[in-house]
A and B are shown apart, each in its own frame.
Chain A
Amino acid sequence: MTDVIATNETILVVGGGISGMTAALEASETGKQVVLVEKNPTVGGRVSQLYKYFPKLCFPTCGMEINLKRSRQNNNLTVLTLAEVTAVSGKAGDYSVTVKMTPRFVNSNCTACGECGKAVEAEFSDEHNYEFMGAKRKGAYLPHNMAYPQRYVIDPRIIGTADADKAKAACKFDAVDLEQKEETIELKVGAIVYATGWRPYDANKIQPYGYDRIANVITSVEFERMADPNGPTGGKLVRPSDGKEAKNVAFIQCAGSRDRNHLKHCSRICCMASLKQTTYVQDAFGADANISVYYIDIRAIDRFEDFYKKVQAQDNVTFIKSKVANIVEDKDGNAVCRGVDTEGYTRYENPHDLVVLAIGMEPSVNFNNLGIDVVANEHGFLEPDEANGGIFAAGVASDALDVNRSVQSATAAALRAIQVVNRVGGTEA
């Protein structure tokens, strides 16, 4: 039985992405008791699926490492992975939360040596790689290199099969525990920070772009995985249709954002994400790269303007002011973008090796379905509203934000949560 001590002076953080990690660390470092609940086997969230970060083009692992170091030095923080909040009731200073804990079938003896993974034969779609290009992982696996905790996971689908026994037999540390059962725990907490983040907008819904029909039309999150040396192509930029080098790459902005047929809101990060991704193509092919960015207007906000200017200055990057009307496939497998250019109203029909849809972010949690009444805005993000009592949003749960702004919002949410539990503890009026 998992033992978690929580009182109504405890702060619960739901979601262990960059925002949840930040909120949990900030609050616990002030001496508050914090429980962090993450539904995946590892913390880190979506940023662990990015290759590099704009604007500095550093690797997300770096920021994660700092956070992990902070969390190890901290006795006030309890991190629960494979844990999901299923019910919330009560009011500010007095919430009851139900958490469902899914078994990992691996205990803390695990050294991540990888022997169980080698022994197991069954393979499943790899969530970390967005199942892109048929990416697979073993039935006993480490979600990714930076996974925390650094502990293998046994896929529940191999439990009861010979593979499970093979995993157990392969482990020299007695870390595989096939008897683990799903449990439900109840926590009392004083304040809750939702840092549940986002999911990519479903590109299949953008019918004219043919994501479901054209092999060489992919999404921006998939392109991050493609560029990553640990991704399904080993970091090579290729055409999924035939594996040939993808030197002629197009980016389509606002794919499903700023569109009343899809997401009404501007997802805000996609312009910078695509500008960043043009550098992946430059790094791979240099002068041989041929890059097009189709856009309505580029929203590289405040200091990101510099980044935009730099990309604009490249000879082999063309900016086409036009929302692509549709994409078709030609006989060579090229994805052909069709539309009319707003600067001159000329009709174009441009073939590309690869088209990357800069898809938007939508909230991963439906806040109208929490079981407790909270105020969400028309786009589904959790609002900062008095009526939400001791429930606050951090990061993309609050709005479409980049990492920098997510972290700022997480610190703000931590401060608000601290005020609530201080009132419970009588240290604040």
Chain B
Amino acid sequence: MSDLNTAMVEKYRSNFLKEVEANVEEGDWVKMCMQCGVCSGSCPLGNAWEHPPQEIFMMIRAGKRDEVLSSSSMWMCTSCYNCIVRCPRELPITHIMHGLAHYAKRLGLSPKEQPTAKFAQLFWDNLSKDGRVNELKLGLALYFMNGFGEGIKTSLKMKDIGLGMVKTKRMNVMEILGGHSVKDKSGFHAMLKKAAEIEEAKIQK
């Protein structure tokens, strides 16, 4: 367990709803859910979810902390906003899902092998290095996410698209050598550090 997780368990004891309200983006909306289920029924990826949003909200209220935070469900959200549009109580469901995923990640509880979570990490590592997304490296990192063999296979499959992108100058093979970055890289890093500090202070509060 991460230190933060231990601290949060200690702080909120058995009141997971309170914990969500205080720490999850838009979390204070959770209690407004009236369990009509229109979000779950409207989710285009609904079949793939372990727990549909409506169930997640009920689980939060029922204090099922571990099950919720380690669930892959929130990571399945594609931000199509169908649920938000249809929710009769206008809960910002999409945002809550991302908020929950983010919070679980921060506590170190998010599922390790969940592809969306993995890709999000790759994206962040790629972006935070130079302040620019290196699409070539990000693409390759994604292809090789599940091992070398599969990476080669995917690369071969995508070969024509890659060549096409090079030809139309949408991708530069030289980027593999390091690639371009923002002008003031140290300034960019200082900014990220400051943002992390602000966020940290907020959590400690």
Is A345 a contact partner of B51 (Cβ separation < 8 A)? yes
Instruction: Give 18 new A-B contacts, CB below 8 A, not counting A296-B36, A321-B35, A324-B41.
Output: A208-B42, A254-B36, A258-B88, A260-B89, A261-B85, A262-B88, A296-B35, A322-B36, A338-B41, A339-B40, A340-B54, A341-B37, A342-B35, A342-B37, A345-B54, A345-B55, A347-B40, A347-B46
Proximity string of chain A (329-351) to chain B, C-beta cutoff 8 Å, 1 when within and 0 when not: 00000000011111001010000
Is B37 a contact partner of A322 (Cβ separation < 8 A)? yes
Is A339 a contact partner of B89 (Cβ separation < 8 A)? no
Proximity string of chain B (37-73) to chain A, C-beta cutoff 8 Å, 1 when within and 0 when not: 1101110001100011011000000000000000000
A296-B87 Cα distance, complex, nearest whole Å = 13
14 contacts between A and B (CB under 8 A): A208-B42, A296-B36, A323-B36, A324-B38, A324-B41, A325-B42, A338-B41, A340-B40, A340-B46, A340-B54, A342-B54, A345-B52, A345-B55, A347-B40
CB distance from A57 to the nearest CB of B (A): 29
Q: Which of A334-393 contact B (CB under 8 A)?
A: 338-342, 345, 347
CB distance from A266 to the nearest CB of B (A): 11
Is B34 a contact partner of A345 (Cβ separation < 8 A)? no
Is A260 a contact partner of B88 (Cβ separation < 8 A)? yes
Give how many A-B residue pairs fall within 8 Å (CB-CB). Answer: 63
A326 within 8 A of B: yes
Residues of B within 8 A of A347 (CB): 40-41, 46-47
CB distance from B163 to the nearest CB of A (A): 42
CB distance from B176 to the nearest CB of A (A): 45
Main secondary structure of the interface of A (DSSP, over half): loop
Proximity string of chain A (28-69) to chain B, C-beta cutoff 8 Å, 1 when within and 0 when not: 000000000000000000000000000000000000000000
Interface residues of A (CB under 8 A from B): 208, 254, 258-262, 296, 321-326, 338-342, 345, 347
A258-B90 Cα distance, complex, nearest whole Å = 11
Is B51 a contact partner of A322 (Cβ separation < 8 A)? no
Residues of B within 8 A of A338 (CB): 41
Is A326 a contact partner of B41 (Cβ separation < 8 A)? yes
Residues of B within 8 A of A208 (CB): 42, 86
Is A325 a contact partner of B86 (Cβ separation < 8 A)? yes
Is A260 a contact partner of B36 (Cβ separation < 8 A)? no
Is B38 a contact partner of A323 (Cβ separation < 8 A)? yes
A10-B40 Cα distance, complex, nearest whole Å = 57
Q: Which of B1-59 contact A (CB under 8 A)?
A: 34-38, 40-42, 46-47, 51-52, 54-55
Residues of B within 8 A of A262 (CB): 88
A268-B134 Cα distance, complex, nearest whole Å = 58
Residues of A within 8 A of B35 (CB): 296, 321, 342
CB distance from B93 to the nearest CB of A (A): 13
A321-B46 Cα distance, complex, nearest whole Å = 18
Q: Which of B78-128 contact A (CB under 8 A)?
A: 85-86, 88-90
A188-B185 Cα distance, complex, nearest whole Å = 81
Residues of A within 8 A of B52 (CB): 340, 345
Closest residue of chain B to A264 (Cβ to Cβ) is B88
Residues of B within 8 A of A341 (CB): 37
A345-B35 Cα distance, complex, nearest whole Å = 10
CB distance from A362 to the nearest CB of B (A): 16
Residues of A within 8 A of B36 (CB): 254, 296, 322-323, 342
Closest residue of chain B to A262 (Cβ to Cβ) is B88
Closest residue of chain A to B53 (Cβ to Cβ) is A340
CB distance from B12 to the nearest CB of A (A): 25
Residues of A within 8 A of B90 (CB): 260-261
Residues of A within 8 A of B88 (CB): 254, 258-262, 323
Given A342-B54, A345-B51: A323 and B37 interface contact (C-beta under 8 Å): yes
Residues of A within 8 A of B37 (CB): 321-323, 325, 339-342, 345
- The 6 A-B pairs of least Cβ separation, nearest first, read A325-B41, A339-B41, A323-B36, A259-B88, A340-B40, A323-B38
A320-B9 Cα distance, complex, nearest whole Å = 37
Is B34 a contact partner of A340 (Cβ separation < 8 A)? no
A345-B38 Cα distance, complex, nearest whole Å = 11
A316-B170 Cα distance, complex, nearest whole Å = 62
A166-B183 Cα distance, complex, nearest whole Å = 89
Residues of B within 8 A of A321 (CB): 35, 37
Q: Name the one of B41, B86, B89 contacting A340, with C-beta atoms under 8 angstroms.
A: B41
A297-B104 Cα distance, complex, nearest whole Å = 32
Is B54 a contact partner of A261 (Cβ separation < 8 A)? no
Residues of B within 8 A of A325 (CB): 37-38, 40-42, 86
A284-B176 Cα distance, complex, nearest whole Å = 74
Is B55 a contact partner of A322 (Cβ separation < 8 A)? no
Residues of B within 8 A of A296 (CB): 34-36
A262-B88 Cα distance, complex, nearest whole Å = 8
